[in-house]
Amino acid sequence: MNEPQLAPQLGKIISQSTESDDPQILPSRLTTVGNMSVRRALPKRQRRTIGAWCFADHFGPVQVHGTSAMEVAPHPHIGLQTVTWVLDGEIVHRDSLGSEQLIKRGELNLMTAGRGVAHSEEPSGSTIDIMHGIQLWIAQPSSSRNGKAAFEHHVSLPEINFDNLTARVLVGTFGEATSSARIDSELMGAQLTLSIGESTFEARSDFEYGIIVLEGTVMLEDKMVIPGHLGYLHPGRNEIRIKALEPSTLILIGGEPLNEEIYIWWNFVARAQDEITEAYNDWKQQTERFGKVDSHLPIIESPLPHWISSSS
Ligand code: MN
């Protein structure tokens, strides 16, 4: 997806550690991406990252009419992976690597930007009624963030059942199941489908975790979490206890807290402002860095970084 106005005010991202509020419940911010309204769970001023997860937009469920579903024109990324997961509806992904991939319910799109990639998200042309899904970003570590771009589509993801819940593992490991999707750092992401009642599952004590409820209502330990809220758990747990008050679907993300500062501006994840300026200029001048997306949509122009004078 694309974030047209992501914050000059966001600035430097520094990991926080106040353990007084645990679990911590944070309301998502309502915003729009392309023609969709989204609930942005990450980043928040009070919670910028969970492991290397640095962005999470929950879109829908929303009634769409015919083919007027998700449409986000070509735009660039650096230094991150996009994880796209659809519960209802379809999206066509096109990127500057030449990928063209329809994504449907239960399938995973994972795009690695590295030093640069561009992509679009477009309606499939099929008649669909409802769009519902989530897109997350993972900040790439220094070891891979200047590397090559890549794209993966996973039709079959491991699933495990226990204790009132079914987990579909998107990336990393949950329980005994490990996704074959590429990860560049120690993290995990899974969809948990819960029936009414309590579930307890193993956690890694070196991971921090977050839950984003897509449908339903759950108690995360003693705190209620509903769609539009992020539930955050500090590191140090060996298990996590969730009680579904109604049939519920949520995304569980976790990872080792980042040990470096990241800088997010617009669609770019970097470590310093100079890197953002360079990416801004390369997109503005349409250099070869990002390549071309085979799309009929005109590219999205970057907003002007606040540190660059409009006359320059
Ligand atoms: Mn995007």
- Burial of 256 per CB tally in 10 Å (0-12, 13-18, 19+): middle
Judged by phi (left if over 0) then psi (alpha if -120 to 50, else beta), residue 230 lies in: beta
- DSSP state, residue 293: -
* Confidence (pLDDT) at 33: 83
Distance of alpha carbon 288 from alpha carbon 281, whole angstroms: 12
pLDDT in tens, 263-310: 999 999 999 999 999 999 999 999 999 999 999 999 999 999 999 987
CB atoms within 10 A of CB 48: 21
- CA–centroid distance, 227 to ligand 1, in Å, is 22
Q: How long, in residues, is the chain?
A: 312
Q: Per residue in 216-243, pLDDT tens? A: 999 999 999 999 999 999 999 999 999 9
Helix and strand numbers, DSSP H then E, in the chain: 1, 27
pLDDT band for 311, please (50, 70, 90 cuts).
Answer: low
Top-ranked range on mean pLDDT: pick from 16-25, 45-54, 124-133: 45-54
Q: Which of 272, 300, 265, 292 is nearest to 54 (CA)?
A: 265
Residue 188 CB partners (closer than 8 Å, separation 6+):
169, 171, 172, 173, 174, 207, 252, 253, 254, 255
Give the distance (Å) from ligand 1 centre to CA of residue 267: 7
110 CA → ligand 1 middle, Å: 11
- How far is ligand 1, taken at its centre, from the CA of residue 117, in Å? 9
Contact 269, 184 (CB under 8 A): no
Task: Count CA atoms closer than 13 A to 248's CA, side-chain side.
Answer: 27
- E strand or H helix that includes residue 121: strand 117-122
Q: How far is CA 241 from CA 72, 133, 163, 206, in A?
A: 37, 24, 11, 17
Q: Tell me, rounded to whole angstroms, the distance of Cα 197 from its chain centroid.
A: 28
Tell me the CA end-to-end span of the chain in Å, nearest whole number: 29
Ligand 1 centroid to residue 5 C-alpha, Å:
13
Lowest mean pLDDT among 31-40, 150-159, 196-205, 253-262: 31-40
